Amino acid sequence: MPLLKMEHYLVLTDDIELTKTFYQDVIGLTVGFRADLGFPGYWLYLDETPVIHIAEWGTYTAHSHKQGIPVTSRGAGTGAFDHIAFNGFDAGQMIEKLTSINVPFQQNDVSAVRLIQLFLFDPNGIKIELNYR
């Protein structure tokens, strides 16, 4: 069966509120409906799709082990997974926002394809790529 789209990735964190605030206030995602899964967390949406799930390490791990579901081990940064990318519009507006709230970022201009890339890290060390064409 063919895949249709990528839906979400899960961020495990010790601070779900700080992580939620980052993705909501910095990246611009919206907190939306989340089913009762038996552990605390959030679903953050891009339009109608819940693209980022946030869960607290301890309760998620306990719940998953109880269900027989394996959990990744803690590691610095993203390990073998390097980054997640989003497309956007108005790079200048995002640059102004990141600068005004003191969120460090690196800019990469790919002039051959008229692309501006911004790279930043979430509070858990996950690299985020923002692409503006």
Q: What is the pLDDT of residues 81-90, one digit of tens each?
A: 889 999 999 9
| pLDDT number for residue 18 | 98
Task: Supply the DSSP symbol for 99.
Answer: H
Alpha-helical runs (H) found in 9-122: 16-21, 57-67, 91-100
Below-50 pLDDT ranges, the chain? none
CB atoms within 10 A of CB 37: 13
Task: Supply the DSSP symbol for 72.
Answer: P
Domains of the chain by range and CATH? Answer: 1-72 (3.10.180.10), 82-133 (3.10.180.10)
| pLDDT number for residue 82 | 84
| pLDDT number for residue 73 | 85
- Whether this model's pTM surpasses 0.85: yes
| pLDDT number for residue 67 | 94
| pLDDT number for residue 75 | 78
